[in-house]
Structure 1
Amino acid sequence: MFRSRVVTLGVAALVLAACGGNGADAPQEKKTELTLYNDKGAWTKYFEEMGAASKQSIGLSIKPTGYTDSAQYQAFIKASFRTDVKPDLFTWQTGGMLEQIVKQKQVADTSAIWQEAIKAGDLSKDLLPYYTIGGKQYCVPMNVAYWGMFYNKRIFDKYDLKPPETWDDLVKTADTLKQNDVKAFYHTSVLFSFVWFEQLLAGTDPDLYDRLSTGRAKYTDPGVVQVMEKWKQLIDAGYFINPGDKTDPADVLKNGKAAMVSSGSWFNTSMTQRDLKAGEDYDFFVIPNLNPALPKTSMIFESGPLCSLTKAADPEAGTKYLKWWTTAEAQEKWATSRGDVSANPKVEIDDKALGAVTKDAGSGKYRLVNRYFEATPPPVLTAALDGFSKFVTQPGSYKEVLETIQQAADEYWSTQ
């Protein structure tokens, strides 16, 4: 989810945790409470609710420790591999970041959980590739998310605007808003600077998007350059808010600073936390392809893992919790409490727009495209996030940005 760069947990927290101890070398004992470290500090309430439910259901509760700074969180988890301060459970990312820690033999094998959950209809085979490394599965889906556009419904109603069916419709909507001194879109120069790049490229040439993420295409290729030029046109047209604005995107949408925010379905949680009502205060639509000739609308997709360590203090308890997490009982509470979609196909949600997207995505209506953050190898991602952050503040730098990212890509793929 969107994360501020505010440091909330520092070295002191690590020291305190070390004093409390959760070491792999400590005497083994059956746990009744598991530590859950996560990079979703704003979701502490929901994790606590899940802990209460699991305590009643399987005799295991969870104690969440949430970070709001992604880089600091990743550093803490990686440090835990080398210390006695080990989480029982932790959240992570799929793609290159998961593969990286699996290769270090840090993550517990969950293949048996997956086989049982798929057989029971609690997990979809469509999710399997995102959690499979070397023929085995690791972690389970903490959440799934489909990306689209959240919009301020009151602003749309005020100017008699409807959810666009084509890219041209979307641009016309942005023009209408501009004429009425309303910024159409939110974007940012920190962490989520990649959002519009992935959307424009996936909606123009999803095959090129896939080749780029696997090193079979270059960031300097004409198709990628053209996408950056299109992005620059949108910025130059004045459709976006200031990318340096530190206002939480949910508040941006609530307050009307921008009429639309491109985000994953988990953003719905941020809206409900502000006592806003879907269908009344805000709503959601699927973003049309830039290229209308594509056979399916490209939809950005992500799934966030919930993992346990191979050297956890009580591996059996961790496995028991992950198994429970995939069940309809657990997932219905998880999805309902946050107003979000679920990885369990049996779970239905109240939000009509998100419910329809979930159903359509599961039926194959959309071409699901792995989110850039997970699809791109970590060393390339680091360069890309820096590059896109520069671009949104200096749009004229797009060629230099692409060349710099490609240098990082060349270095990475030459070693693979």
Structure 2
Amino acid sequence: MKFSRRMAAGAAVLVTVAAVAGCAGSTSASSSDLQFVTDKSWDFEKFSAVSKDDIDVSLDPAYYADQNAFQAFIKQSFRSNKAPGLFTWHTGSSLEDLVSEGLVAETTDIWEKAVADGDISESVKDLYTIDGKQYCTPISVDDWVMYYDKRTFSELGLEVPTTWDAMMTVADTLVDAGVAPFWNSGGNPWAFVWFQILTAGTDVELYNDLVSGEAKFTDPEVVDVMNVWLDMKEKGYFSDPGSKTPGETQIKDQEVAMIPFGTWYASTLDTVGLESGTDWGVFPIPNVNPEQEVTPVAIETAPACVPEKSAQRELGLEYSEWWMGTDAQTAWSEQQGNLPFNPNATASTEEFQKIGEEYTDPKYTFYLRYYEAAPAPILTSSLDQFTGFMTNPGDPMPFLEGIQATADEYWSEH
């Protein structure tokens, strides 16, 4: 799930359960108006004009700004005849829970065609596969990159780093110039970011073993990763993890020089007036461990799902299939400023065209970001412990022991 797009005042409407349920069950809407419930603040009305022209189906979106209210409505609507035709959700255990109850329509046929047509990769398909079948389809699939402030780099004569050591040298120069090299944030949802980068960049198999319960957070290799994080913290490489100032504002004001995020973050930078290619660029996040043969890239994806018992089930599936296609993904990339997952689509910016081509190199391997990959109870504990580590840095073991206690309990039952 993407939490980073701020809910602009007036842009997102907090919809009550009763209001949305009444809308979903209304007979006044056109049969080509697809009832769509979402926790995203993106401009779906604008995109709806594209689908109306292309397939004569419009989105009728209802927005939720509160996660608890959104999830409560989705789960309640499934048990009535008021389920929408399409809704946004998350991959991982959240999707598995709905599938296990038979609440989500299968999309295997759509995926088989999309993969055969070259519209999406098998690796993305795996994220939507449960017990050999596919459910939901992606609105977007975002690769993680390092955003950097081209203005600051130019003023200080800095080159874009291609290795971890080079990036640390850049960080030292930035510290000397009074600029925080890297943005980081405590709390929910972003406290996991640097743990994810450092662990996967050191040993992506270790990362995968941690999220699957095959390794322990207290293992020596994980302690070593945390000590790299601690060393970076002590050298002044990070922004204040408790700051309430958004990262995009900090980079605009040249208080921070680099921000690791998914390609969706481009549209957030647009909101503060920073232009791609002029004010900011992107580069692949280098391996911490230069001996690791592959360079891991985190990915995240925003699914759209169709309720199995929705009166608009077939219309929802039709829209889902269209949204994966070349024309829709080109239009979505242009609107959002991100990198389309469909290789036949055209990226909206030169920066993302270049990074998209770069990521086709076999040396890159892709892994699911920690927010979706970690089971929910372990994620919650991790966010708390990582926040504590960032705000009161020191011996990492007590923090890791706290996460492992939750992991032991979880894996004993799963």
Instruction: With the length of structure 1 as denominator, give the TM-score of the two structures.
Output: 0.92
Question: How far 1:267 sits from its partner (Å)?
Answer: 0.5
* SS at 2:147 equivalent: strand
> 1:28·1:314 contact (CA, 8 Å) conserved in 2?
no
* SS at 1:396 equivalent: coil
Q: Give per-residue Cα distances to partners, 1:131-186, cap 9 Å, x unaligned.
A: 11011100111101111210111011111111111111111111111111111111
- The question of 1:130 aligning with 2:127 is answered yes
Cα 1:390/1:67, change in 2 over 3 Å: farther
Question: How far 1:200 sits from its partner (Å)?
Answer: 0.2
Matches within 5 A, 1:10-409: 13-18=16-21, 20-23=22-25, 31-41=31-41, 43-44=42-43, 47-83=44-80, 85-190=82-187, 191-396=189-394, 398-409=396-407
Look up the equivalent residue of 1:215 and give its one-letter code. Answer: G
* SS at 1:414 equivalent: helix
> 1:4·1:69 contact (CA, 8 Å) conserved in 2?
no
Look up the equivalent residue of 1:102 and give its one-letter code. Answer: V
Question: How far 1:327 sits from its partner (Å)?
Answer: 1.1
Cα 1:79/1:253, change in 2 over 3 Å: farther
> 1:97·1:377 contact (CA, 8 Å) conserved in 2?
no
> 1:96·1:377 contact (CA, 8 Å) conserved in 2?
yes
Cα 1:95/1:325, change in 2 over 3 Å: same
Cα 1:53/1:5, change in 2 over 3 Å: closer
Question: How far 1:314 sits from its partner (Å)?
Answer: 1.2
Question: How far 1:68 sits from its partner (Å)?
Answer: 4.2
* SS at 2:396 equivalent: helix
Cα 1:6/1:56, change in 2 over 3 Å: closer
> 1:225·1:399 contact (CA, 8 Å) conserved in 2?
yes
Q: Counterparts of 2:48 and 2:36 in 1: how far apart (Å)?
A: 10
Look up the equivalent residue of 2:209 and give its one-letter code. Answer: R
Q: Give per-residue Cα distances to partners, 1:234-284, cap 9 Å, x unaligned.
A: 112212111111222222211212111110011011123333222211111
* SS at 2:274 equivalent: coil
Name whichever of 298-307 and 257-266 sits farther off: 298-307
Q: Counterparts of 1:3 and 1:221 in 2: how far apart (Å)?
A: 35
Q: Counterparts of 1:348 and 1:162 in 2: how far apart (Å)?
A: 28
Name whichever of 48-57 and 361-370 sits farther off: 361-370
> 1:201·1:224 contact (CA, 8 Å) conserved in 2?
yes
Q: Counterparts of 1:40 and 1:29 in 2: how far apart (Å)?
A: 22
Q: Counterparts of 1:175 and 1:83 in 2: how far apart (Å)?
A: 58
* SS at 2:16 equivalent: helix
Look up the equivalent residue of 1:34 and give its one-letter code. Answer: L
Q: Counterparts of 1:71 and 1:385 in 2: how far apart (Å)?
A: 18
> 2:81·2:309 contact (CA, 8 Å) conserved in 1?
no
Q: Give per-residue Cα distances to partners, 1:345-387, cap 9 Å, x unaligned.
A: 1012142332222223234230212111111112211211222
Cα 1:197/1:31, change in 2 over 3 Å: same
Give me the identity figure in percent. Answer: 39
* SS at 2:345 equivalent: coil
Question: How far 1:397 sits from its partner (Å)?
Answer: 5.9
Q: Give per-residue Cα distances to partners, 1:203-255, cap 9 Å, x unaligned.
A: 00111001111110001111111111111111122121111112222222112
Look up the equivalent residue of 2:374 and give its one-letter code. Answer: T
Q: Counterparts of 2:240 and 2:402 in 1: how far apart (Å)?
A: 24
Question: How far 1:28 sits from its partner (Å)?
Answer: 12
Q: Counterparts of 1:6 and 1:320 in 2: how far apart (Å)?
A: 30
Which 5+ residue runs of structure 2 have no aligned equivalent? none
Instruction: With the length of structure 2 as denominator, give the TM-score of the two structures.
Output: 0.92
Q: Give per-residue Cα distances to partners, 1:67-87, cap 9 Å, x unaligned.
A: 344454334433433455433
Look up the equivalent residue of 1:22 and give its one-letter code. Answer: A
Q: Counterparts of 2:272 and 2:390 in 1: how far apart (Å)?
A: 28
Q: Counterparts of 1:175 and 1:70 in 2: how far apart (Å)?
A: 39
Name whichever of 374-383 and 355-364 sits farther off: 355-364
Q: Counterparts of 1:154 and 1:361 in 2: how far apart (Å)?
A: 25
> 1:28·1:313 contact (CA, 8 Å) conserved in 2?
no
